[in-house]
């Protein structure tokens, strides 16, 4: 089974699938739901095996339903907007990467991802690339899944936690029993809009849950100092990813300037008058905990004292 999963994965990547190397954080809690650890979740071969077989099931079910012309919910992901390529290429040039994105084809994206493998800019570029992707949604229209490279795709393998999967189960059952279509097209349109909206709400709740657990974990452990990586910048806020534990935090602009707003040099860099230098996304800095804002569910940090210009 493992060898078969590896073969499936290799074939799908060759056919066009965009596979981003992004690690997920894991919150470990005790029996009373108190956070005991926040760590990076390793992607094991067992995870990949299950994922590949689930993808296979989703593809074949979607294909079977489409051929029988029964209305159902497909998982749709439209191609990325090529207007975003200029910004991505600017980041690549900033990090000395010679291969640029000429278009949004699978071949062009894979070439850049391969060039970035193992380099410091890899993780940040993968994050930025993911942000340029269109958001996947549920629809009665058969439009394919660009990110996975599939012409036919639906969600079928988890009916106990996703309603769209249950819809596909019901439709497939009708087909296997030789019965007429369960839904009319207008019903599927309504279902698609509702399920897509509920999915976004669930994703927001999941992010807030993780941020809240991160806040409580830092408060409980009393950790005050961190190494951090700059991941984003706005005139009033600088965003960072803390190391050990891996959680998101931010610094207010006054940490870098006395003029209210920092001066953005590009989408990926800003000038700090306090330190007389240009900071670029991906730069490492040393920070210390400033405060935890439970109302905003946000962790604020500040530059370590010894870093400030004398």
Q: Helix, strand, or coil here: 289? A: strand
Q: Rounded to an integer, what distance in angstroms lies between the CA atom of residue 215 and that of residue 248?
A: 10
Helices (H), the chain: 2-15, 45-68, 85-94, 106-116, 122-132, 163-176, 185-221
Q: Helix, strand, or coil here: 228? A: strand
Q: Rounded to an integer, what distance in angstroms lies between the CA atom of residue 22 and that of residue 126?
A: 7
Give me the pLDDT at residue 191, please: 98
Give me the pLDDT at residue 306, please: 59
Residue 73 in tokens: 């919910």
For residue 262, what are the contacts with CB-CB under 8 A and spacing of at least 6?
233, 235, 236, 238, 253, 256, 270, 271, 272
**Residue whose pair of structure tokens reads 């060898």 in the numeric block:** 3
Instruction: Please list the pLDDT of the chain residue by residue as tens digits (310 residues).
Output: 999 999 998 888 877 788 887 778 889 999 988 899 888 887 888 988 999 999 999 999 999 999 999 999 999 999 988 888 998 999 999 889 989 999 988 889 989 998 999 888 898 999 999 989 999 999 999 999 999 989 999 999 999 999 999 999 999 999 999 999 999 999 999 999 999 999 999 999 999 999 999 999 999 998 999 999 999 999 999 999 999 888 999 999 999 998 888 999 888 899 998 899 999 999 999 999 999 999 999 999 999 975 544 4
**Residue whose pair of structure tokens reads 């019901």 in the numeric block:** 170
For residue 172, what are the contacts with CB-CB under 8 A and spacing of at least 6?
61, 64, 65, 156
User: For residue 141, what are the CA distances in angstroms to 88, 135, 195, 198?
Assistant: 30, 16, 14, 19
User: Which domains does the chain possess?
Assistant: 2-79+134-216 (no CATH), 224-307 (2.40.50.140)
Q: What is the largest CA-CA distance in the chain?
A: 80
Nearest to 289 by CA among 279, 299, 280, 274: 299
Question: Which backbone phi and psi does 102 adopt, to 5 degrees?
Answer: -80, -30
Give me the pLDDT at residue 310, please: 44
What's CA 86's distance to the chain center, in Å? 21
**Residue whose pair of structure tokens reads 């596909």 in the numeric block:** 168
Q: Helix, strand, or coil here: 297? A: coil
Residue 167 in tokens: 């819809």
Full-model pTM: 0.87
Q: Are 6 and 14 in contact (CB under 8 A)?
A: no
């Amino acid at each position: 089974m493992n060898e078969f999963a590896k073969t499936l994965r290799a074939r799908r990547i060759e056919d066009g699938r965009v596979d981003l190397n992004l690690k997920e954080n894991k919150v470990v809690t005790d029996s009373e739901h108190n956070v005991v650890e926040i760590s990076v979740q390793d992607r094991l071969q067992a995870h990949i095996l299950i994922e590949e077989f689930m993808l296979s099931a989703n593809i074949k079910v979607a294909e079977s339903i489409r051929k029988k012309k029964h209305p159902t919910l497909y998982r749709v992901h439209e191609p990325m907007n090529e207007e975003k390529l200029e910004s991505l290429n600017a980041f690549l040039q900033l990090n000395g990467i010679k291969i640029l994105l000429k278009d949004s084809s699978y071949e062009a994206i894979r070439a850049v991802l391969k060039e970035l493998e193992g380099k410091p800019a890899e993780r940040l570029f993968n994050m930025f690339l993911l942000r340029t992707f269109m958001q996947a949604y549920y629809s009665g229209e058969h439009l394919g899944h660009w990110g996975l490279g599939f012409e036919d795709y639906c969600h079928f393998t988890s009916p106990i936690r996703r309603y769209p999967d249950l819809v596909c189960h019901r439709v497939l059952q009708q087909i296997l029993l030789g019965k007429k279509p369960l839904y009319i097209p207008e019903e599927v349109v309504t279902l698609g809009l509702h399920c897509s909206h509920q999915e976004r709400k669930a994703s927001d709740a999941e992010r807030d849950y993780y941020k809240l657990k991160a806040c409580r974990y830092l408060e409980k452990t009393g950790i005050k100092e961190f190494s951090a990586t700059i991941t984003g910048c706005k005139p009033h806020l600088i965003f960072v990813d803390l190391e050990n534990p891996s959680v998101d935090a931010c610094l207010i602009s006054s940490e870098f300037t006395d003029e209210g707003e920092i001066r953005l040099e590009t989408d990926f860099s800003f000038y700090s008058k306090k330190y007389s230098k240009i900071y670029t996304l991906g730069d490492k800095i040393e920070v210390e905990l400033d405060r935890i804002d439970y109302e905003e569910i946000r962790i604020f940090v500040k530059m370590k004292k010894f870093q400030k210009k004398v």
